[in-house]
């Protein structure tokens, strides 16, 4: 059973009338990446989430290792996976990637990121909707602890896009759904394993992410109407593992607008999860950083809000092509006859092609984007060590 760390009842004082220069709604990958970019900017930054930071894991938590290294998050890595395997009804292929995946500890990663967010404040609150936009530029955000306002507001609340109207609602919205189980594991394995088999899921794939003392085994369906519980249990059984410790969620598969009604959107709220692969952590970091840089320019007086919104929307739109390619492949691959898919996976199997294909894929949101961590924003080594110990 999940132990709730989030304070309840009398501990939840009212936040009515609270004001910040930057209000970041959502304290997961995207929200924390935004806050990190604002460290040492001198701005008053308030981050909200309905749960404590790192309390509720939202994914299988596999990310390209170079991104975790670039963000100074290597201490959260539980297992590095230099290979990928793809299994179809016709057989299996195994690729050595030009970079590796790493499965990480969600709680620790969030804490390490938060330690880089400088003076930002955090409060637990459920964000309900956007309120009035005042003449002086203040935007009101309505939460279960009262109305909070800021001139700069970010929605990093995930797939629902809470601060837009209407929200995204399954099954009509362009969303995929995923569910996974977390049975015990012995730390063995060096590959992120993928199954593309219609007998598991008609349009989608199954996965196994070895993550040290647990394996993350799950199924994702591009069709939101298809249920994924039975296929997840069946895949776990096939791998001789118990279907225990479930977690699941929706994830977007279409790029959305990066701004709307003076609000910035980053991560799943802006559809920044890649179609086909369903990989959304790296892109939440990437677009979160881009958004944070625009906000920083405003709080430091180098830009105004209107120009920052425009610049961020342009940055978002500049990524339409890779997202469209991935969406086209997401539609095409499930329609291919299995023998053709098997043949294509074998053809890609030369190291030169693997390096090219996966190099292109990483470059759509490359780790070099992070740049050096600003000195004032880096969590000191002793603090990192203390966090690592505490999360065990």
Ligand X SMILES: Cc1cc2nc3c(=O)[nH]c(=O)nc-3n(C[C@H](O)[C@H](O)[C@H](O)COP(=O)(O)OP(=O)(O)OC[C@H]3O[C@@H](n4cnc5c(N)ncnc54)[C@H](O)[C@@H]3O)c2cc1C
Q: Is 178 in the site for ligand X (CB under 6 A)?
A: yes
Q: Tell me which of 162, 290, 327, 370 binds ligand X, using CB under 6 A.
A: 162
Quick note: the x/- pattern for ligand X over 10-29, rule CB under 6 A, is: ----------------xxxx
Q: How many CA atoms lie within 13 A of 69 on its CB side?
A: 11
Please say which residue, 246 or 339, places its beta carbon nearer to ligand X.
246
Residue 389's contacts (CB-CB under 8 Å, 6 or more residues apart) are none
Alpha helices in 51-125 (DSSP H): 65-70, 106-114
Going from the C-alpha of 3 to that of each of 51, 54, 58, 147, 276, the distances in angstroms are 11, 12, 16, 28, 33
Q: Is 214 in the site for ligand X (CB under 6 A)?
A: no
Name the minimum Å distance from CB 159 to ligand X: 7
Q: Is 249 in the site for ligand X (CB under 6 A)?
A: yes
Q: Classify 276 in phi/psi space as left (phi over 0), alpha (psi -120 to 50) or beta.
A: left
Residue 287's contacts (CB-CB under 8 Å, 6 or more residues apart) are 30, 33, 258, 266, 267, 270, 272, 315, 316, 365
Please say which residue, 72 or 248, places its beta carbon nearer to ligand X.
248
Please say which residue, 252 or 334, places its beta carbon nearer to ligand X.
252
Residue 291's contacts (CB-CB under 8 Å, 6 or more residues apart) are 30, 34, 37, 154, 258, 264, 266, 312
Main-chain dihedrals φ then ψ at residue 199, nearest 5 degrees: -70, -20
DSSP 335-351: GS-HHHHHHHHHHTTSH
Q: Is 258 in the site for ligand X (CB under 6 A)?
A: no
Q: Is 37 in the site for ligand X (CB under 6 A)?
A: no
Write the burial class of residue 154 (CB in 10 Å: 0-12 exposed, 13-18 middle, 19+ buried). Answer: buried
Options 36-44, 91-99, 272-280, 295-303: segment touching ligand X (CB under 6 A) = 272-280
Q: Is 79 in the site for ligand X (CB under 6 A)?
A: no
The DSSP secondary-structure symbol of 184 reads B
User: 116-155: which residues touch ligand X (CB under 6 A)?
Assistant: 126-127
Please say which residue, 219 or 342, places its beta carbon nearer to ligand X.
219
Q: Tell me which of 95, 251, 323, 361 binds ligand X, using CB under 6 A.
A: 251
Please say which residue, 209 or 308, places its beta carbon nearer to ligand X.
209
Instruction: Return the ∠ at Cα 249 (arms to 52 and 345), rounded to 5°.
Output: 125
Q: Is 330 in the site for ligand X (CB under 6 A)?
A: no
Q: Is 157 in the site for ligand X (CB under 6 A)?
A: yes
DSSP-derived 3-state class of residue 360: helix
Q: Tell me which of 61, 70, 130, 215 binds ligand X, using CB under 6 A.
A: 61
Q: Is 290 in the site for ligand X (CB under 6 A)?
A: no
Options 132-140, 178-186, 333-341, 349-357: segment touching ligand X (CB under 6 A) = 178-186
State the DSSP H helix or E strand holding residue 88, giving kind and residue range, or none if neither: strand 77-88
Residue 350's contacts (CB-CB under 8 Å, 6 or more residues apart) are none
Q: Is 206 in the site for ligand X (CB under 6 A)?
A: no
Within 10 Å of residue 365's Cβ, how many Cβ atoms? Answer: 22
Options 48-56, 300-308, 358-366, 373-381: segment touching ligand X (CB under 6 A) = 48-56
Q: Is 60 in the site for ligand X (CB under 6 A)?
A: yes
Rounded to whole angstroms, the Cα distance separating 32 from 288 reads 8
Rounded to whole angstroms, the Cα distance separating 355 from 336 reads 24
Name the minimum Å distance from CB 285 to ligand X: 9
Q: Is 278 in the site for ligand X (CB under 6 A)?
A: yes
Q: Tell me how many residues contact ligand X (CB under 6 A).
A: 39
Options 53-61, 165-173, 297-305, 364-372: segment touching ligand X (CB under 6 A) = 53-61
Closest residue to ligand X, based on beta-carbon distance: 280
Q: Please give the residue ranges that form the binding site for ligand X (CB under 6 A).
A: 26-31, 48-51, 56, 58-63, 126-127, 156-158, 162, 178-180, 218, 248-249, 251, 267-268, 273, 278-282, 284
């Amino acid at each position: 059973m999940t132990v709730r760390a989030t304070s309840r009842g009398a501990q939840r004082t009212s936040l009515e009338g609270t004001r910040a220069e930057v209000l970041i709604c959502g304290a997961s990958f995207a929200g924390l990446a935004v806050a990190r970019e604002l460290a040492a900017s001198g701005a008053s930054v308030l981050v909200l989430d309905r749960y404590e930071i790192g309390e509720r894991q939202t994914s299988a938590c596999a990310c390209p290792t170079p991104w975790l290294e670039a963000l100074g998050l290597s201490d959260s890595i539980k297992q590095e996976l230099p290979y990928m395997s793809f299994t179809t009804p016709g057989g299996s292929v195994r690729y050595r990637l030009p970079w590796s995946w790493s499965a990480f500890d969600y709680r620790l990663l969030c804490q390490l990121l938060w330690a880089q967010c400088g003076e930002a404040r955090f409060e637990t609150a459920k964000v309900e909707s956007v309120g009035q936009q005042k003449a002086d530029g203040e935007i009101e955000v309505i939460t279960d602890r009262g109305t909070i306002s800021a001139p700069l507001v970010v929605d990093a609340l995930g797939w629902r896009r809470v601060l837009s109207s209407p929200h995204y609602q399954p099954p009509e919205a362009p969303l995929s759904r995923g569910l996974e189980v977390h049975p015990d594991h012995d730390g063995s394995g060096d590959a992120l394993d993928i199954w593309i088999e219609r007998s598991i899921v008609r349009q989608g794939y199954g996965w196994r992410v070895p993550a040290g003392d647990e394996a993350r085994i799950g199924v994702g369906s591009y069709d939101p109407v298809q249920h994924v519980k039975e296929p997840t249990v069946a895949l776990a059984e096939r791998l001789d593992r118990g279907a225990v410790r479930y977690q699941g969620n929706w994830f977007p598969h279409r790029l959305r607008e990066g701004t709307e009604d003076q609000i910035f959107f980053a991560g799943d709220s802006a559809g920044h999860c890649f179609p086909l692969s369903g990989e959304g952590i790296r892109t939440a970091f990437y677009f979160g950083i881009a958004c944070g840089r625009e906000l920083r320019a405003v709080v430091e007086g180098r830009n105004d809000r209107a120009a920052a919104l425009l610049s961020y929307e342009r940055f978002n739109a500049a990524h339409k092509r890779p997202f469209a390619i991935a969406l086209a492949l997401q539609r095409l691959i499930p329609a291919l006859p299995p023998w053709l898919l098997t043949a294509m996976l074998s053809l890609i199997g030369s190291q030169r092609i693997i390096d090219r294909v996966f190099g292109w894929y990483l470059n759509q949101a490359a780790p070099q984007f992070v740049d050096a961590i600003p000195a004032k924003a880096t969590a000191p080594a002793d603090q990192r060590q203390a966090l690592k110990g505490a999360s065990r």
